[in-house]
Structure 1
Amino acid sequence: MKLVHVFDAYCGWSHGFSATLREVVSRHPELPVEVVSGGLFTGGRRVPIREFGYVQGANAQIAELTGADFGEGYERLIADGSFVMDSEAAARGLAALRGSAPERAVELAIDLQTAFYVDGRSLSEAATYRRIAEAAGLDADAVVTAFEDPAASAAAKNDFRRAADLGVTGFPTLLAVDGERVVPLARGHATADEIDHRLASLS
């Protein structure tokens, strides 16, 4: 059995789930974790953030429920409403980071969200991935090259397809996958204890 974490780097609820995910992974080192990018803001949904009027209210709710931090850098980035969230670029970035350290995919996905939601860095810019890679002790040049390579776009599309094949319609979704058996452990929000209880019922 393995865990599959389907998230979107530009999803506030995915950011709010980070602490729970980190705790679940630390409790279950025996379970491999696959991290998959969802395509929340693609195609016609790639528009200035001002067009999503619910963002600030949703973030306040997420912070209250999960304790997640929405930093000053993030607030500055979105203040004028012109920033465009592009989930395809973020998925390319995750693919580049994941390719450099597959066993650290959970940690790197969380780093990606911290870069946006705390530090206010665009996930469409190569410089963001250079900073994340350097902080994580990875080969930053290799990560940037991978981010800019056309293969990253194919990896992003594969992630979106994988999420759809798993039946995921919202982010974050944490699944237990055992062969053909796919069991949801969390959708949107759950505590580590709740996930543990659901995991225990599978054995």
Structure 2
Amino acid sequence: MKLVYVFDAYCGWSHGFSGTLSEVVSRHPDLPVEVVSGGLFTGQRRVPIRQFGYVQGANAKIAELTGAEFGDAYERLIADGSFVMDSEAAARGIAALRQAAPARAAELATTLQRAFYVDGLSLSEPATYRKVAEEAGLDADAVAAAFEGSEARVAAGADFHRSASLGVTGFPTLLAVDGDRVTELAHGNATADEVDQRLAAALRTR
């Protein structure tokens, strides 16, 4: 069995789930974690943030329910409404970080979300991945180069396909995958204890 975390780095609810994800991973070091980018803002949804009028109201609710931090630098980044959230670029970044440290994919996913939602860094810029890599003790040059390379584009597309093939309809979604058996452990918001209860039930019925 393994955990599959399907999220989008530009999804506020995924950012809110970061604490739960970190706690679940720390409680179950024996379970490998696959991190998949879902592709929330692609195609016609890749537009200036002002076209999503609900963003700041949703963020306030996320912060209230999960304790997630939305930093001043992030607020400044989106203040004039022109910033474009490009999930394909974010998925390429996740692919580059995942390639550099596969076993740390969950940790790096939450770190990348902090880079956007707290530090106000665009996930379309190579410099963001360089900074995240440096802070994680990874080869920053290699990660930045991978972000701009063709393999990351292929990996991003594969992630979007993987998300769809798993039947995921919203982010974040945490799954337990055991062969052909897929059990939903969380969708949107959940505590680590709630995830543990569902995981225990899935393990009992193996």
1:12 maps to which residue? 12
Counterpart of 1:41, as a letter, is F
Q: Following TM superposition, where does structure 1 have runs of at least 4 consecutive aligned residues deviating by more than 4 angstroms? A: none
2:38 maps to which residue? 38
1:165 maps to which residue? 165
2:196 maps to which residue? 196
Counterpart of 2:17, as a letter, is F
1:52-107 deviations in Å (ceiling 9; x for gaps):
00000000000000000000010000000000000000000000000000000001
Tell me the distance in 1 between the aligned counterparts of 2:71 and 2:113: 11
Counterpart of 2:196, as a letter, is D
1:132-152 deviations in Å (ceiling 9; x for gaps):
000000000000110010111
2:97 maps to which residue? 97
Give the share of equivalent positions with the same residue, in percent: 78
Tell me the distance in 1 between the aligned counterparts of 2:70 and 2:190: 19
RMSD between aligned residues = 0.4
Tell me the distance in 1 between the aligned counterparts of 2:110 and 2:31: 18
1:154 maps to which residue? 154
Tell me the distance in 2 between the aligned counterparts of 1:195 and 1:94: 24
Counterpart of 2:167, as a letter, is G
Unaligned runs of 5+ in 1: none
Alignment of 1:67-146 (within 5 A): 67-146=67-146
Tell me the distance in 2 between the aligned counterparts of 1:132 and 1:201: 36
Tell me the distance in 2 between the aligned counterparts of 1:73 and 1:102: 29
Alignment of 1:17-32 (within 5 A): 17-32=17-32
How many positions carry a matched residue from both structures? Answer: 203
Tell me the distance in 1 between the aligned counterparts of 2:39 and 2:96: 16
1:147-170 deviations in Å (ceiling 9; x for gaps):
010111100000000000000010
Q: Secondary structure of the residue that 1:70 maps to in structure 2?
A: coil
1:184 maps to which residue? 184
* Superposition TM-score, scaled by structure 2 size: 0.98
Q: Secondary structure of the residue that 1:63 maps to in structure 2?
A: helix
Tell me the distance in 2 between the aligned counterparts of 1:42 and 1:201: 35
